[in-house]
Structure 1
Amino acid sequence: MSELFSPALSGAVAGLGVAMPMGAMSVLLLQEAMRHRRTAVAAAAGIAAVDLGYAALATAVGPWVASRVSPVEAWIRLFAAAVLLSIAAHALHRSARPASSTPPAPPPPGDRPPGDGTGSGGGAGGAGAVRAFGRYVGLTAVNPTTALYFAALTTAQASALTTPATAGAFLVGVAAASLLWQQTLVALGAFAGRRISPAARAWTFRLGYGLVAAYALKIAFPLPDLA
């Protein structure tokens, strides 16, 4: 079991790195939780499912790619680290701009479309949750940064994900961390609503991409031999 702990921990850090930055999807999820917690729980699962799907695809392809270029494995790691660092640097640069205003308050009950999962009608049941899951899967899947993030990460870590067990442990870590964070946002949205300040959102954004940057430095070393 001890040999699975490291890839599981790596997966958890990777999952938090992609999930914690509070961008547009996090704001939407908070708004969903403010309206109806049940649909927000399904929406959070949809976001985590996409993170897991991209991670699984990258885990399947990354080691195969890396095995074909093993003579330059150190350079592959360095390139992947550069990609991750550029993602983190770009995001952290954007986070230095003035924070946006807090999410708008949910519309009053009379202004909500019927069956949106916010009332006691049919939309608040399983159908509303299924629709929320599908909607957030679609919204998250169109973000190319998530795919690029996991592709760079898993290609650089190919030597550590060579068996089904280690790859599975990595994916469990990704899924668990992503789902836990998204469900934490749901709980915060349902409990705190608009009391979550722009400053708090900005710091989670910075912390998440700080994890990405730290992960990039971890996989960059040891540096390629220039001799």
Structure 2
Amino acid sequence: MSELMTPALAGAAAGLGVAMPMGAMSVLLLQEAMRHRRTAVAAAMGIAVVDLGYAALATAVGPWAASHVSPVEAWVRLASAAILLAIAAHGLAGARPEAAPPVPAPDPAAAPGATRTTTGVRPAKAFARFVALTAINPTTALYFAALTTAQGASLGTGPAGAAFLVGVGAASLLWQQSLVALGSFAGARISATARVWTFRLGYGLVAAYAVKIALPLP
């Protein structure tokens, strides 16, 4: 069991690295949670499913790719690390405070104390919409492709790969559902400062991963 803990923790860190930076999808998820918690829960699951799907595809292809480039394995790791560092640098460069979306105004016709409006979007429709919006982001696919190709040997066995995927899925889902809870509880916009720090923490994890897989240098 202990030998599966390492890939599971690696998967959890990878899942958080791709999920924590608060981009457009996170803002949309928070806004959905402010309107209706049920649809936001489904939307969060949609985002996590895409993260898991990309990770599964990359995990399946990564070891195969790594086994076919073993003579230059160190250089493949270095190239993968460079891609991850580029992703992290691009994300950190954009980690500046921005104007947050306006807080939805209370509905005058709502019952006293009500702060959120309802939405006609059903959970299944919200799930499908967020799956589609997340899937068209090429950064997620590139992130997992670089990460798993560089770690092809360590993810070569079925149990290790499965543990990695469990970590990715659990971490991504936990973070997205935390955003839903935050949006539902607060009923207001998240501060610009908080958004910037999630960018820095998330892309900091990506940069740390890049350094880890690059060593030892060729």
Structure 1 length normalisation: TM-score?
0.89
- Runs of 4+ displaced beyond 6 Å: none
Whether the 8 Å CA contact 2:102–2:189 is kept in 1: the answer is: no
Secondary structure of the 1:101 match is coil
**Aligned position for 2:193:** 199
Match 1:136 to one of 130, 140, 143: 130
Letter in 1 for 2:42: A
More helix per residue: 1 or 2? 1
Letter in 1 for 2:98: S
**Aligned position for 1:114:** none
1:14, 1:193 → 2: CA distance? 29
Question: For 1:116-127, what aligned pairs fall within 5 Å after superposition?
Answer: 119=118, 123=120
How far off is 1:108 after superposition?
Answer: 5.7
How far off is 1:196 after superposition?
Answer: 2.0
Letter in 1 for 2:140: T
How far off is 1:106 after superposition?
Answer: 3.1
Q: Note if 1:102 corresponds to 2:96.
A: no
1:50, 1:217 → 2: CA distance? 26
Per-residue CA shift, 1:86-134, capped at 9, x if unaligned? 0000110111x4x221222236659xxxxxxx638xx47xxx0000000
Q: CA RMSD in A?
A: 1.7
Whether the 8 Å CA contact 1:103–1:194 is kept in 2: the answer is: no
Letter in 1 for 2:118: G
**Aligned position for 1:2:** 2
Per-residue CA shift, 1:9-64, capped at 9, x if unaligned? 00000000000000000000000000000100000000000000000000000110
Per-residue CA shift, 1:176-209, capped at 9, x if unaligned? 0000000000000011132521101110111000
1:143, 1:196 → 2: CA distance? 23
Letter in 2 for 1:145: T
Q: Which runs of 5+ in 1 are unaligned?
A: 111-117
**Aligned position for 2:58:** 58
How far off is 1:175 after superposition?
Answer: 0.1
Q: Which runs of 5+ in 2 are unaligned?
A: 109-116
1:7, 1:70 → 2: CA distance? 21
**Aligned position for 2:79:** 79
**Aligned position for 2:174:** 180
1:70, 1:21 → 2: CA distance? 33
> Quick one: percent identity of the two aligned structures?
74
2:124, 2:28 → 1: CA distance? 17
**Aligned position for 2:216:** 222
2:59, 2:83 → 1: CA distance? 17
2:107, 2:128 → 1: CA distance? 23
